[in-house]
Amino acid sequence: MLIRKHIEPPSSEITPEREYLNRRQFLGMVGSMGAITAAGALTQAVLGAVQPAGAQQGEELTDEEKVTSYNNYYEFGTDKEDPKANSQRFRTRPWTVKVEGLCRNKGDMPLDGLLSPSKVEDRIYRFRCVEAWSAVIPWRGIPLADVIRRADPLPGAKFVEIYTLLDPSQMPGQRSGSISWPYVEGLRLDEAMHPLALLATGMYGKTLPNQNGAPLRLVVPWKYGFKNIKAIVRLKFTDSQPTSTWMRAASNEYGFYANVNPTVDHPRWSQARDRKLGDLLRKPTPMFNGYEAQVASLYSGMDLRRNF
C-alpha cells in the first residue's frame, strides 16, 4: 500500500522470496504439513456452520497464525509485524458506532446494540490484498445490509462513508503523517447492501484480534483488502462519492471501487496473479476475486478500467 512520494516501503509491497524462504525454513516441512492438516480440519468444522453465501468450499484455510501476524494496519505501524506488536493494549470496549447523514435512524449505537438484532454468521471468504498476497479466512460477523436497513437511508443516500477510530493516544501510527487520519473508506449503497458484505467481529471462530480490526471491521471479499476498513466507529450516508484514504494518498494508484481485477495492473506491479500466505507459488487471480457470479451485475455497463 505504500506510496513512493510519502515513505519508502519498510518491507517489500510483495513479500520477497527471501523472506518467504526464511519463514518456510523456520517452519520446516513437517510443521507446514501439520498446519495444512489442521487447517483442513477446521475448514470442515467451520463449513458445518456457515451460511452458504460466498463460502469457499474445497479451499484450504490460511494458517491462522499467518493471518494474525502479517497485517496492514497503519494506525499501528507500517511494517507487517507492527500491528500485532503494537495493538495488544488497544481498548475495544466500550465501543460506539455513530450512524449519521442521510438516514432516518441516526445516533450513537453501542456496539452490542448495533449487533444484537442480527444473527451472527460464519463465512469463509477469499481475501486479496492489492499488494498481490491473498488468504482464505473464516470470518464471523453480521451482514452490513442489516445495519443499513435499520439505519433506514433516505432516498437521496447513494453511498456510505466508513471511518476508523481517531485516537493517537492509542494508535501510534496516527501520530505520524504517513497517510491522512482517520482512515476512511466508502461503498456505493448497493455494494454495501450486497449480501456478501460483512461487518466482522471475529475470525477462526474467535473474537477478532486487535491487529485484524477489532472490534468491528468491514469484509468485502470481491474488493482489494484496503477497502476492508478496521476499527469502525462511524457510518455516514451521503449523496456523493466519498474520497477514501488511499484515493487521497495516490488517486492514480487506488480507485474508489478497488474491485479485484486481474486485467488492470497497479501502475507499479501486475495484478494478474497472487500468492496465498504460506504458499510458494503465485496463482492466477480470478475476476472479482472469484465472486463474479455474485457481484458482476453491480457494475454492468461500467468501464472497469476507468472505474478501478
Which residue stretch of 24-32, 72-80, 89-97, 190-198 sits at the interface with ligand MTE (rule: CB under 6 A)?
Answer: 72-80
78 binds ligand MTE (CB under 6 A): no
Decide whether 73 or 237 has the Cβ nearer to ligand MTE.
Answer: 73
Q: Is 227 within 8 Å of 289 (Cβ atoms)?
A: no
Question: Shortest distance, CB of residue 180 to ligand MTE, whole angstroms?
Answer: 11
C-beta separation of 232 from 301 below 8 A: no
**Around Cβ 5, how many Cβ atoms within 10 Å?**
7
Confirm or reject binding of residue 260 to ligand MTE (CB under 6 A): no
Q: Could you say whether residue 210 binds ligand MTE (CB under 6 A)?
A: no
Smallest gap from residue 5 Cβ to ligand MTE (A): 17
Give the one residue of 1, 99, 147, 197 binding ligand MTE; rule: CB under 6 A: 1
- Total residues contacting ligand MTE (rule CB under 6 A)? 17
- Binding residue for ligand MTE, selected from 90, 139, 222, 226, defined by CB under 6 A: 226
Residue 220, CA distances (Å) to 22, 29, 250 in order: 31, 33, 21
User: Which of residues 166 and 264 has its CB atom nearest to ligand MTE in the complex?
Assistant: 166
How far is Cα 273 from Cα 134, in angstroms, rounded to an integer?
A: 10
> Least distance in Å: CB of 230 to ligand MTE?
4
Q: What x-and-dash track marks residues 128-167 binding ligand MTE by CB under 6 A?
A: -x----------------------------------x---
* Shortest Å distance, C-beta 206 to ligand MTE: 14
Q: Which range, of 13-21, 67-75, 141-149, 295-303, touches ligand MTE by CB under 6 A?
A: 67-75
Residue matched to cell numbers 453501542: 110
Shorter beta-carbon distance to ligand MTE: residue 132 or 157: 132
Say whether residue 230 binds ligand MTE (CB under 6 A).
yes
The pairing of strands 159-164 and 206-207 is unpaired
Smallest distance from ligand MTE to CB 8, Å: 17
Contact indicator for 70, 23 with CB cutoff of 8 Å: no
Q: Is 75 in the site for ligand MTE (CB under 6 A)?
A: yes
Could you give the CA distance from residue 114 to residue 245 in angstroms, rounded to a whole number?
A: 25
Query: Which range, of 65-73, 152-160, 253-261, 296-304, touches ligand MTE by CB under 6 A?
Result: 65-73
The least distance separating ligand MTE from the CB of residue 53, rounded to whole angstroms, comes to 20
The reply to whether 2 sits near ligand MTE by the rule CB under 6 A is: no
Binding site for ligand MTE (CB under 6 A): 1, 71-75, 129, 164, 183, 212-213, 225-226, 228-231
